[in-house]
Structure 1
């Protein structure tokens, strides 16, 4: 499994934007499509809300890729 880390700039990031910012898709719209497909999980639970707020400490998975979200500096 490939593990990535993402450091927040604010309190949270929307799920579709996170997927774009780490390079898993080309746009926020493509991120929304990935979420709608049911392939994305947050903390081990399938997430279908495209703009779900992702907070520090959460882990987002897509296939064999895991993204750990870290608090901003």
Structure 2
């Protein structure tokens, strides 16, 4: 399993934007489509809300990719 760490500036990042920022998809729209497909999980639960707010401490999983979100700084 590949593990990435993403440092979020501020309180949160939207799920579709997170997928774009880490390079999983090329655009926010592609991120929305990926979330809508049911392939993305947040903290072990399937997440279908495309603009779900992801905060430090949460883990986003997509296939064999795990994205750990941490606070910047």
Figure out how many residues of one structure are paired with residues of the other and give that number: 73
What stretches of structure 2 of length at least 5 have no aligned partner? none
* TM-score normalized by the length of structure 2: 0.99
After the TM superposition, which parts of structure 1 deviate over 3 Å for at least 4 consecutive aligned residues?
A: none
Match of 2:68 in 1: 68
Is 1:40 the counterpart of 2:73? The answer is no
What stretches of structure 1 of length at least 5 have no aligned partner? none
Is 1:19 the counterpart of 2:19? The answer is yes
Root mean square deviation, CA, Å: 0.4
